[in-house]
Amino acid sequence: MPECQNCGGFVTKDYVRVFTPPEVSDPRICPACEDKIRDGSEVRDARSPRHP
């Protein structure tokens, strides 16, 4: 099962297919990672807290 490299949380195969390159099986961050965000091809710390 794929898991987030940042928090270790579960991610679906569809999430991996959409948000990671073909040769990568585990994404660098997932939607549950409130302290990080994707910025183009990079991952960076969030500038402000993300709360739903």
* Domain map (residue ranges) of the chain: 13-45
Which residues does the chain have with pLDDT short of 50? none
Q: What is the pLDDT of residue 32?
A: 86
> Whole-prediction pTM value?
0.70
* Alpha helix (H) residue ranges in 1-52: 13-19
Token pair of 13 as six digits: 């195969």
Q: What is the pLDDT of residue 46?
A: 83
Q: What is the pLDDT of residue 26?
A: 92
Q: What is the pLDDT of residue 17?
A: 92
How far, CA to CA in Å, does 33 sit from each of 23, 30? 22, 6
Q: Cβ atoms within 10 A of the Cβ of 8, count?
A: 10
Q: What is the pLDDT of residue 50?
A: 64
Longest CA–CA separation in the chain, Å: 32
